[in-house]
Amino acid sequence: MSTQPIELNFQSYLQQAGVSAPDADLYDTCVRCGLCLESCPTYTLLDLEASSPRGRIALIRGVNEGRIPVDAPGFLKQMDQCLGCLACQAVCPSGVEYGHLLEAGRAQAKAVRPQSRMAQMIEGFVFGWLFMSLGRVRLLAVLMAVYQRTGLQWLARRLGVLKLMGMAQMEQLLPRMSSSFVKAEGQSFAPMAQATTTKRVALLTGCVQSVAFAEVHDATVHALRVNGCEVVMPQGQECCGALHAHGGDLVRAKELARRNIDALEAAKPDYVVVNAAGCSHHVKEYAHLLHDDPAYGKRAEHFVSISRDITELLAELGPKPAQTPLPWRVTYQEPCHLVHGQKVSQQPRQILSAIPGLSFVEMGESSMCCGSAGTYNILQPEIAGELLERKLNNAAATQAEVVLSANTGCMIQMRAGIAQRGMNAKVMHLVEILDAAYRQDEARM
Ligand code: SF4
Ligand code: SF4
């Protein structure tokens, strides 16, 4: 029988922040078997029960049964220290929906955590202003591009200004801005002439992807066209809201979800496709996020039913095999939100098998988190750094010249690590390598 959460004195905080306590059924499902412990990166590194999934579930339960104060330092610490990688959820035999528990726990922690005025201002700027509008993201990206391309970045690094400001590590993670940005304005791209089937696919262009990974969008559009799809970029779409939801800001996460449903649904697509695994996972959470919204609940369910990660959709479509050999040695780093969150693991390998001449070497611990995890590598640099080292060691052991991934955050993290280590390897998105093979075929025609 479920234990009902007792009346807590922080209810007014939670109501104000639009936060609901997690359903007791979510934590009652945990039978404390510990089968998830070995798959948990923080438990693997720290060997502490509190830093394990079972320990965190016990804390969330304790808070919601009134035995642990919601502002207890141990609870707040564990809500931050968890990567949200969902490796525990993927292996749990009892089906504990850990991701939903963590989301609720983080929202509670956020509602009661004391914050300095400066931290409030930064958070308000990033989540409340910047990522609520793609126009603002593009504006900031222009400034970043100026910083990166005019020698300012070189000068700041050379003079040690960033170190003095305590921002050197964070700045290393700044992705290089694309030479042109992708702005969804209702563009439509017809399927290639030789393609046989026609599906209408709406592309969610996202925030960071649209300004720093424009080449991944180009590859996505082209690869889908080769596979018989019409691709549209509906106007009015926004950031998917994953950063907000993972940070406990569910009010804004819901607002962004509603705007994306409005914009993308209006294009009447057969599929909604997303090429960053963290975002494709979050988009599939829209039905859960909006389940109690009378106007959007049903629409969100339909939206989720047609949403696909790009690797998933290409695998569903075939994909069309390339003809010309691409003699590259490659390995694949599995994004947590693809392999654990969406259980998409074979499809990326299926895509690679469509490319002749490729030498694919499996990486050890390919599904262990690389330490990126949204803003985790900025907020928890020590654990993130240890996980990155481990990932780079595994990548180096394959002697691959290309490390493939399928998520923006992982690609940023891997590129920064590879550059710092001076490794001779390139990081690419899976769809880019398939697209490179298709373009090679076209060049030979
Ligand atoms: S989360 Fe699942 S695997 Fe982990 S202790 Fe609970 S029931 Fe066992
Ligand atoms: S989400 Fe990842 S880091 Fe967090 S408890 Fe689960 S396995 Fe551990």
Confidence of residue 4 (pLDDT cuts 50, 70, 90): very low
Number of other residues whose CB lies within 10 A of the CB of residue 345: 16
Residue 418, Cα to own-chain centre: how many angstroms? 20
Distance between Cα 175 and ligand 1 center (Å): 37
pLDDT value of position 445: 78
Pick from 85, 106, 367, 390 the residue to mutate for probing ligand 2's pocket: most ligand atoms within 8 Å of its CB.
Answer: 85
Contact 144, 177 (CB under 8 A): yes
pLDDT at 299 over 50: yes
Contact 80, 105 (CB under 8 A): no
Contact 303, 271 (CB under 8 A): no
Distance between Cα 17 and ligand 1 center (Å): 29
End-to-end CA distance of the chain: give it in Å, rounded. 67
Residue 300: partners with Cβ closer than 8 Å, 6 or more residues away:
257, 261, 286, 287, 289, 290, 291, 293
DSSP one-letter code for 96: -
Mean per-residue pLDDT of the chain: 92
Distance between Cα 169 and ligand 2 center (Å): 24
Minimal CA–CA distance to 319: which of 346, 351, 348? 351
Between the alpha carbon of residue 218 and those of residues 82, 86, 335, 407, the distances in Å are 34, 30, 21, 15
Distance between Cα 348 and ligand 1 center (Å): 28
* High-pLDDT (> 90) share of the chain, %: 77
Phi, then psi, of 333 in degrees rounded to 5: -100, 115
pLDDT at 349 over 90: yes
Give per-residue pLDDT as tens, 107-121: 899 888 877 777 778
- Residue 94 CA: nearest ligand 1 atom is 7
Distance between Cα 383 and ligand 1 center (Å): 23
pLDDT at 309 over 60: yes
- Residue 95 CA: nearest ligand 1 atom is 2
pLDDT at 6 over 50: no
The response to whether residue 34 sits with its C-beta less than 6 Å from ligand 1 reads yes
The response to whether residue 41 sits with its C-beta less than 6 Å from ligand 2 reads yes
Name the 3-class secondary structure at 415: helix
Name the 3-class secondary structure at 379: helix
Nearest CA to ligand 2 atom 4: 82
pLDDT value of position 17: 56
Minimal CA–CA distance to 308: which of 327, 347, 281? 281
pTM given for the model: 0.92
Q: CA 221, 226, 228, 234: dihedral to nearest 10 degrees?
A: 10
Give per-residue pLDDT as tens, 261-290: 999 999 999 999 999 999 999 999 999 999
Distance between Cα 180 and ligand 2 center (Å): 37
- Residue 32 CA: nearest ligand 1 atom is 5
Domains along the chain?
11-112 (1.10.1060.10), 119-172 (no CATH), 187-315 (3.40.50), 321-444 (3.40.50.1860)
Q: Is the pLDDT higher at 124 or at 283? A: 283
The response to whether residue 30 sits with its C-beta less than 6 Å from ligand 1 reads yes
Pick from 88, 89, 97, 100 the residue to mutate for probing ligand 1's pocket: most ligand atoms within 8 Å of its CB.
Answer: 88
Residue 29: partners with Cβ closer than 8 Å, 6 or more residues away:
94, 95, 96, 97
Helices (H), 293-429: 297-305, 310-317, 336-339, 346-352, 376-379, 381-397, 408-421
Query: Over the Cα atoms of the chain, what is R_g?
Result: 22
The response to whether residue 84 sits with its C-beta less than 6 Å from ligand 2 reads yes
pLDDT at 46 over 90: yes
Confidence of residue 165 (pLDDT cuts 50, 70, 90): confident
Confidence of residue 157 (pLDDT cuts 50, 70, 90): confident
pLDDT value of position 131: 93
Q: What mean pLDDT do residues 371-398 have? A: 93
Nearest CA to ligand 1 atom 6: 30
Nearest CA to ligand 1 atom 4: 36
pLDDT value of position 111: 85
The response to whether residue 86 sits with its C-beta less than 6 Å from ligand 1 reads no
Minimal CA–CA distance to 378: which of 170, 204, 220? 170
- Residue 36 CA: nearest ligand 2 atom is 7
The response to whether residue 341 sits with its C-beta less than 6 Å from ligand 2 reads no
Q: Is the peptide bond before 327 cis (omega within 30 degrees of 0)?
A: no
**Rounded distance between C-alpha atoms, residue 210 and residue 207, angstroms:** 6
Distance between Cα 301 and ligand 1 center (Å): 28
Q: What mean pLDDT do residues 198-202 have? A: 94
Q: Which ligand is nearest to the CA of 88?
A: 2
Confidence of residue 167 (pLDDT cuts 50, 70, 90): confident
